[in-house]
Structure 1
Amino acid sequence: MTHDQHDYSVTAVQLNHTAVYATDRRRSAEFIAGILGLEVGAPFGPFLPIDLGNGVTLDYYEKRDEPIQSQHYAFLVPEERFGGMITRLEAAGVTYYADPHHTEPGRANDLFGGRGAYFDDPDGHNMEIMTRPYVRP
C-alpha cells in the first residue's frame, strides 16, 4: 500500500455520521457543542459538523421549509465531565430532566451505576447525556 492509499476496512458496522435537522444550523450546533464541551467544525457543503471524537460526526443541516420532527440523540460522556455539562445547561437556562418524558425537572438519574440527564435542544430534539451505556439483555 502506498502512502496515498488508505485501509478503510472495518471489522464491524459503525455509525459514521448523522444529519441533525435544525431551523438554524449554527444556533443548534453551537448549543450542543457548548453543552458537550466540543467545537463546531467548518461548514461542509450544506452541513455544519461536530466531531464527537469517536469517529462519529453530527452534521447539522438547515431545514426551514417544514417543521422539524423531534429525534433522540444520546451521548455517552466521561463521568468527570458530566457535572460541567449540567452546569452549562443551568447557565444557559435549559431545564434538564432525570427521565426521557421530562417529568422530573432539575434532576439527574443514576441508571446502570452512572448518571444521566435529558434536555431539549433549540429545535426540540430530545438530547441525553449519560456516563454509563445501557445494559441490554
Structure 2
Amino acid sequence: MTVHLNHTIVAAHDKNASARFLADILGLKVSPEWGPFAPIEIPNGVTLDYIDTADAITPQHYAFLVSEDDFDTIFARVREAGLTYWADPFHRRSGEINRNDGGRGAYFDDPNGHNLEILTRPYGSGG
C-alpha cells in the first residue's frame, strides 16, 4: 500500500499574510488561491492550504525536514525577521537550537501561534 499526505488545512486569521509569512521564511511561493484557500506547495508535493477563520485557533505543529544548507538559509531568515526561536517544542530553551540525532533543529511560531519546526535529521534516525 502506498499512502502519501497530499494536503492539510491550516487555520489563520489572515490566510494571505500567514501563507506569505511561511513562504518567505522557507523560501517558497504562495500558489494562486484555490477556492477559499491560500496554498503553499512544499517541494515533496504536499500543500498547506491556509484558510481564514474568525474563531480561536488551536495551535498545530508543522515540522519541515531540510538539508543542512537549507537550515542555514532558513534559520538566517528566522533571525533576520527577529523571531524568537527555541531548541524545544515546549519553548523552554529560548535562543538555542537543538542537535538531536546528530542534526540541527529549531522551533518558532507563526503569526497564529502555530509551532513551526525546521530540522535536518528525522527524530530517531541516530547520529
- Give the TM-score of the pair, scaled to structure 1: 0.88
Residues 12-23 of structure 1 mapped to structure 2, 5 A cutoff = 12-23=2-13
Task: Return 5+ residue gaps in structure 1 as ranges.
Answer: 1-10
Partner secondary structure for residue 21 of structure 1: strand
Residue 84 in 1 paired to residue 73 in 2? yes
Residue 67 in 1 paired to residue 64 in 2? no
Residue 113 in 1 paired to residue 91 in 2? no
Match of 2:118 among 126, 129, 133: 129
Q: CA offset at residue 104 of structure 1?
A: 0.9
Residue 31 of structure 1 corresponds to 21
Q: Distance in 1 between matches of 2:84 and 2:71?
A: 15
Percent identity between the aligned chains?
55
Moved segments of 4+, more than 2 Å: none
Q: CA offset at residue 18 of structure 1?
A: 0.2
Residue 55 of structure 1 corresponds to 45
Partner secondary structure for residue 121 of structure 2: coil
- Give the TM-score of the pair, scaled to structure 2: 0.95
Q: CA offset at residue 19 of structure 1?
A: 0.3
Q: Looking at CA atoms only, which structure, 1 or 2, has the larger radius of gyration? A: 1
Amino acid aligned to 1:92: A
Amino acid aligned to 1:78: S
Give the CA RMSD over aligned residues.
1.0
Task: Return 5+ residue gaps in structure 2 as ranges.
Answer: none
Q: Distance in 1 between matches of 2:76 and 2:60?
A: 24
Q: Alpha-carbon deviations, 1:17-49, whole Å to 9, x = none?
A: 000000000111111111111111100000011
Q: Distance in 2 between matches of 1:56 and 1:36?
A: 14
Amino acid aligned to 2:81: A
Q: CA offset at residue 84 of structure 1?
A: 1.3
Residue 86 of structure 2 corresponds to 97
Amino acid aligned to 1:41: S
Amino acid aligned to 2:18: S
